[in-house]
Amino acid sequence: MQEVIYEGLLGDVPYNVKKLTTDHLPEVLTLQEVVLDALPDKDILQPLSVEEFLYILNGNGMLIGAYVDQQLIAFRAVVVPKINDEHLGYDLGLVDEADLKRIIYQEISNVHPSYRGFGLQKTLAKVIVKEIDSSKFDYMCTTVMPYNIASLKDKFVQGFYIVAIKRIYGGKLRYVLALNLHNEPQYENDSIDIFMGDIDGQEQLLKQGYVGVLMKQVDDDWLVTYKMPIKIN
């Protein structure tokens, strides 16, 4: 029986969180399918294959799951990525293999449609970060589709910031976001707001060294706020 690493309430419904193993893979895949089927835009979620889940579960990351009674209702994953040409560490300006090895990815996060609205995704993010051995890693990186508002809110609340926009996963447009696991970034006071749909404008700001630090709604659209990080010697 897996050790419970966190307990909480969804309203008045108790739940607990455990680290998952390969034995849990069938229920993880089932939940992923339920979540995918409920999405109006399937491009929002990049589902993981059996092979990708097994890579994580066989010592290359961590998968945690939230349970109500004996039902898996949510899961969240982190993965130690393979070092290849698409490694997100390059978007942080890292080039040495030793530095790239100190990056872990925040991977997929799924919450059953019946249990949304309780902040479960945010809670699982905090739980999994506490379980990571931060002595082995400096940054956590992840990717999010522009206008995937729920996921972007989740990332900004955790302290992630946008470092790049690029096409990956067979040409799908994604933000690349990073989280410093040891130091909270400091920024210049000046900021630039730009509409999320202005990809070219954001690319120019990113090339100049700006990073995206938050977003806000204006009428029916969203603005991303970009700031210049203060470089600490």
Per-domain boundaries in the chain:
4-184
Alpha carbon 208 to chain centroid, angstroms: 24
**146-158 pLDDT, tens per residue?**
999 988 998 999 9
Per-residue pLDDT of 156-195, as tens digits, reads: 999 999 999 999 878 889 999 999 999 888 999 999 999 9
Whole-structure pTM value? 0.88
Rounded CA gap, 177 and 162, in Å? 4
pLDDT digits (tens, 9 = 90+) for 36-92: 888 877 666 778 999 999 999 999 999 999 999 999 999 999 999 999 988 999 999
Whose tokens are 């029986």? That residue is 1
Q: How high is the pLDDT of residue 125?
A: 92
Averaged pLDDT of the chain: 92
* The two three-digit tokens of residue 206, written as one number: 């990113």
Rounded distance, CA 88 to CA 47, Å? 18
Say if residue 9's pLDDT is above 90.
yes
CATH of domain 4-184: 3.40.630.30
Q: How far is CA 217 from the centre of its chain?
A: 21
* Sheet containing 4-10, strands listed edge to edge, beginning at the edge strand earlier in sequence: 4-10, 13-19, 61-68, 71-79, 103-111, 139-144, 172-180, 161-168, 211-218, 221-229, 187-195
- Give the C-alpha separation, 149 to 79, whole Å: 23
